[in-house]
């Protein structure tokens, strides 16, 4: 896997965490358990720093997809896109390289082979 793809996956993990903290029900639940969630600023700073390391064209693709989907980038497991659960065509696997991100023809999500 290329470093830029790793960065994108880490960015998505971070986005999911930020989304959780901003979600009132989840943050209320965490706070009721005793967790202090005071560092949202640190998280968004870390997100900005990470985003700057991702090549611009890739980041733009990710950001566009992330507006619609919580999971914009996903691993391929079996022969399905785990985002939309549509079976990927056979040629997907003959053309796909472990180093290149692919796109699900159905939902447009970014896919990688782990």
Partner 1 sequence: MQSMEVAKLISFFEEDLCIFHLRSRKKMSALTEMVHHLALKHKISDERFIIEMLKNRESLGSTGLGNGVAFPHGRSLAIKDLTVLFARSASGVDFDALDGKVTKIFFLILAPSDKGSETYLSILSELISLIQKPAKLKNLYEVTDYPSLVKILQEKDQ
Whose CA is closest to 70, among 114, 4, 34, 26?
26
State how far the alpha carbon of 92 is from the alpha carbons of 41, 83, 87, 98, 109, in Å.
40, 16, 10, 12, 14
State which of residues 21, 51, 84, 96 lies at the interface with partner 1 (CB under 8 A): 21
Cβ 90 to partner 1, closest distance in Å? 24
What is the size of the binding site for partner 1 (CB under 8 A)? 31
State which of residues 2, 51, 63, 71 lies at the interface with partner 1 (CB under 8 A): 71
In whole angstroms, how large is the CA radius of gyration of the chain? 16
Cβ 100 to partner 1, closest distance in Å? 17
73 phi, psi to nearest 5 deg = -130, 135
Q: Which stretch binds partner 1 (CB under 8 A): 56-64, 69-77, 84-92, 102-110?
A: 69-77
80-81 vs 102-103, strand pairing mode? unpaired
- Residues in contact with partner 1 by CB under 8 A are 6, 9-10, 12-14, 16-17, 20-21, 23, 26, 29-30, 33-40, 42-43, 46, 71, 73-75, 82, 114
């Amino acid at each position: 896997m290329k470093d830029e793809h790793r960065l994108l996956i880490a960015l998505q993990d971070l986005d999911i965490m930020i989304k959780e903290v901003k979600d009132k029900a989840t943050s209320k639940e965490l706070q009721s358990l005793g967790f202090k969630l005071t560092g949202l600023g640190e998280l968004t700073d870390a997100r900005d720093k990470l985003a700057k390391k991702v090549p611009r064209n890739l980041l733009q693709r990710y950001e566009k997809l992330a507006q619609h989907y919580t999971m914009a980038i996903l691993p391929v497991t079996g022969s399905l896109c785990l985002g939309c659960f549509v079976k990927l065509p056979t040629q997907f696997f003959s053309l796909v390289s472990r180093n290149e991100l692919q796109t699900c023809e159905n939902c447009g999500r970014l896919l990688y082979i782990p």
